[in-house]
Structure 1
Amino acid sequence: MRASGAVTRSTLRQQIADALRDEVLAGRLQPGREFTVKQIAEQYGVSATPVREALFDLSAQGLLESDQHRGFRVHQFSVADYRSMVEARALVMDGVIRDVFREQPPSPDRQARYREALVSVRRRAEEAARAARGGDLDILIGYDLRFWRELGALAGNTYIGDFLHRLRVQAWVFAVPYLRGDADVRDWLWQGHADLVASVTLRDREALRAAVDDYNNHALSWADRLAAGDPDHLGHAPQPPGADEPGDEARPEA
């Protein structure tokens, strides 16, 4: 009975963490938003313990800040933070590309793993690119994160995969408040997923490097526009802290 209770609590902890992460990624929990364990526990109708554990998990992922006197706050990333995320993932991806495309032929087991994984990755790429073309952020974020997660698994290093996934979640957390409701949002959504998969399928190292460079340069170009205050494509800045309160009906911004 004790083991069953532990599993239930752990599962609830993960469910709450996932739900709150989705709220942040959707832009419904804005940067700077403050709340307490008690407020979240009441909102979800659960005890404080799994909520506290979930909030500390999200803090460890860099999405929340903890203040023992005020509770928790959604972390507010700066343009400089975003640029650093992009530069960090570019450096790591360069190493991944070198590893996956080593000169010696891959083993039969590795080739079989590639083929199996690429079937799912290709579907994710198609859905992500379709959502990007349509400017549908809610659908795009989910598929984009799963696309990169599954693609990164080809490297066979879970530590690198976890690190890159964390960076991409943080990058989306930064970007969403600016992109949400922007009439020109499709201009700033990368759509090269299919080209990247094609280069992996063909084991074309230079084409893969070019696709990844395009992905990172696209993000850095957008960051440059934000930093410069481009009046045509600035996007929408985050709402001021306290604009909503936990427990309010969650709605995307108009």
Structure 2
Amino acid sequence: MEPTRLDPGYQDPRYAAAERPAPRTARPPLPVRPRSLPERHSVRAQVLAALRDALATGELEPGETYSAPALAERYGTSPTPVREAMQRLVSEGAVETVPNRGFRVAGHSARDAAELAEVRAALEVPAILRLARSVPPERWDELSPLAEATVTAASVGDRAAYAEADRGFHRALLTLTGNRQLVLVAEDLHRKSQTPAAQGTRPGTAQLLADALEHAALLDALRSGDLVAVERLATHHLGADPDRAEHGYR
């Protein structure tokens, strides 16, 4: 006997097919990223780091023009990552593009150094004072290894290592504010202030070491909560005094 609509479980054959789930179709494979992208990014990052070291040490001299092919030969790579790294340095103000020739190393003047120091002090000193009022004394111990790293680099006269360690200390200090934009802007200004002076003067080992020791002195003042000392040390260290802003390694 054929089932009727009154029978339990009856299903009208006219709709049975429509209610069956559609067969699954294979999804198209996800696009595969070219393997060369990470490698190219890595090469560009390595070239950028090497160029920054060369700028900090004076290997690339202010006022001199360097071609991408010549630099590529020096670093054992193709000109493309060199050009990309140089464009990054152009955006940071460390070099300038010279049409049909390459890139000229920019050198700041005494006025440039003083202005950068003034802006950095206006930005960082109030932030450091706020931290001095709110951060527990024991938190400053976390920055001691970074301060020691600047002393280690300065004691052997390694300008490139000191420049990197110096940025690391200030970055960690301002990170405690929780303000990411402040950290980014301050580090950009810091890099610009580390550009060698146009006249070619660079700090010697003694000057680098004196600057590095100021990091530890600032931490001591922060631990003790001495706001007057914190403001004085931070302002002095950042070179807001024109006599302290010439070499630009803080």
- Please state which band the TM-score falls in when normalised by the shorter chain: 0.7 to 0.9
Match of 2:11 in 1: none
Letter in 2 for 1:33: E
1:149 is paired with a residue of what secondary structure? helix
Alignment match, 1:46: 77
Offset, 1:23: 0.5
| Cα offsets for 1:74-126 (capped at 9, x unmatched) | 11211100001100001101331354356xx67xxxx69x83xx444211213
- Report the alpha carbon displacement of residue 68 of structure 1 after superposing the two structures with TM: 2.2
- The one-letter amino acid of 1:14's match is A
Are the equivalent residues in 1 in contact too, given 2:221–2:230 (CA < 8 A)? yes
Q: Write out aligned runs for 1:92-241 (5 A).
A: 92-97=123-128, 99-101=130-132, 115=139, 118-129=140-151, 132=154, 134=155, 136-138=157-159, 139-174=161-196, 177-179=200-202, 185=207, 189=211, 191-217=213-239, 220-223=242-245
Structure 2 residue runs without a partner (length 5+):
1-31
For 2:67, the equivalent position in structure 1 comes to 36
Structure 1 residue 143: Cα displacement: 2.4
- Do the aligned partners of 1:89 and 1:164 also contact (CA within 8 Å) in 2? yes
Equivalent pairs counted in the alignment come to: 214
By relative contact order (CA 8 Å, sep 6+), the higher-ranking structure is 1
Instruction: Report if the CA contact (8 A) 2:94-2:105 is conserved.
Output: yes
Q: Is the 8 A contact 2:96 2:103 kept in 1?
A: yes
Partner of 1:25: 56
RMSD: 3.1
TM-score normalised per structure 2: 0.72
* Whole-Å separation in 1 of the counterparts to 2:107 and 2:53: 16
Cα gap change, 1:75/1:195 in structure 2, threshold over 3 Å: closer, same or farther? Answer: same
Partners of 1:95 and 1:137 in 2: CA distance: 31
Q: Secondary structure of the residue that 1:179 maps to in structure 2? A: coil
AA partner of residue 157 (structure 2): D
Aligned match of 1:241: none
Alignment match, 1:244: none
Aligned-partner residue type, residue 178 of structure 1: T
Q: 1:81 aligns with which of 97, 100, 112?
A: 112
Q: CA deviation at 1:218?
A: 7.2
Q: CA deviation at 1:39?
A: 1.3
SS at 1:192 equivalent: helix
TM-score (norm 1): 0.71
**Residues 165 and 4 from structure 1, CA distance in 2 versus in 1: closer, same or farther, beyond 3 angstroms?**
same
Correspondence for 1:58: 89
Aligned to 1:71: 102
* 1:45 to partner: Cα distance: 2.1
Distance (whole Å) between structure 2 residues aligned to residue 222 and residue 209 of structure 1: 16
